[in-house]
Structures are given as C-alpha cells and as structure tokens.
Amino acid sequence: MTVAPTIGVLALQGDVAEHLAVLESLGAPAVKVLSPEHLDAVDGLVLPGGESTTMSKLALRYGLMEPLRKRVAAGMPAYGTCAGMIMLADEILGGTADQQTVGGIDMTVRRNAFGRQSESFEARVPVDGIGEDPFDAVFIRAPWVERVGPEVAVLGSVAGADEAGRIVAVRQGGLMATSFHPELTGDARIHRLFVDIVKGHA
C-alpha cells in the first residue's frame, strides 16, 4: 500500500484555508507551509490566492524563497492560483520594483491584468484535462499570461469579447497555474488533477 502524498499550502498570506479544505475533501493530507522545515516535509505545494507582493516579501524575509526555488527546480509539483500563478512565473509585468518570484514556469504573467476589483468577474472556462464541462472560474483582480515558452501547455483561455484568447490556465511538467480561484467554487476537478500530478498519475 502506498502512503498518500502530503500536499502543502504556502501559508504566508491569502485564502489558505479554502485550499486546505478542498485538498482534504479529496483525501489528500494537507498542511500549512510557513518555514523551510515545513517545505521539506511536503511532496507537492499549492501557492494560494492573495496579494503577491505581500507573499514575495514574506517569502524573502523568512528565508523561504531560495528553498522554494530549489524544490521547484528539483521537480516538486506545484500549483499556483492567482497570486500563486504570479509566484510561479519566470517573468512578471506590473509588479512592484523589488518583487521577486519563485519561478519555474517559462511564462510572462501580467499582474492585475484584468483590472481592479470592480472588473473582477466570473466566467465559464473550458480547461484541458478535467473533462468537457467548463469550469466556473472566479477572477479576482486577476493576472493573465502574456507569453508562454515552448515547454508550456496552455490548458485554458478566456472566451468572450475584449480579453478573448487571454491565457488563464497553464501547465509545464509538474507545475500548474490558473489566473482564477478553484478553491472558491466547490468544484474540485482542478485540485484533483493536481493531486494526480503529485501522485505521478497525470
């Protein structure tokens, strides 16, 4: 019998509890990650939504940025939502001058690309790898992906008029990122895909 892998949720700031709840509902043991020691103990990591500038600063202050980069470079699966997508981007636009990221996905992400909160929205987004039914995606001051490298698979884009074709879900090997927040919707399909990635099944 194999032991279920432990998935961490980076708990520097943001909607940590919602991710923990979805992972637990899938039978995946989930723990908060606040220190390099916590990070050592997990098999995969979710980087939640929140404020990416705050997460970046706190990751540097608590000596987590380098260990995060090392684990990601060494192949630890990771999934970032919204601010977490920014954290996993090799390159960002619209960040603060000193904002650093963990990186790992060869992409350029524009922070707050869809606008301020008054422009935050819900939309149905088809996502590769989770079945045919589109995902009820919640975008909060959300980023989008402006450029992807050759290794990156685009899993989903926004339909509709003005931002049609904007990339909002990607995967590169064991790394996955979405502009939107599956943890807010009660639809666990994207988390299930990530758990399968951590288990080496997807």
Catalytic residues: 82, 181, 183
The three-state secondary structure class of 57 is helix
Could you tell me the smallest distance in angstroms from the CB atom of residue 174 to other proteins?
A: 25
Closer to other proteins by CB, 125 or 197: give it. 125
Could you tell me the smallest distance in angstroms from the CB atom of residue 175 to other proteins?
A: 22
Question: What amino acid occupies position 149?
Answer: G
Q: Which residues bind other proteins (CB under 8 A)?
A: 11-18, 34, 49-51, 53-54, 57-58, 61, 82-83, 94-96, 110-124, 138-141, 158-164, 181, 184-185
Could you tell me the smallest distance in angstroms from the CB atom of residue 126 to other proteins?
A: 13
Q: In 54-88, which positions are buried (b, 16+ CB within 10 angstroms) versus exposed (e)?
A: ebbbbbeeeebbebbbebbeeebbbbbbbbbbbbb
Closer to other proteins by CB, 95 or 104: give it. 95
Closer to other proteins by CB, 89 or 197: give it. 89
The Cα 127–Cα 190 span in angstroms is 9
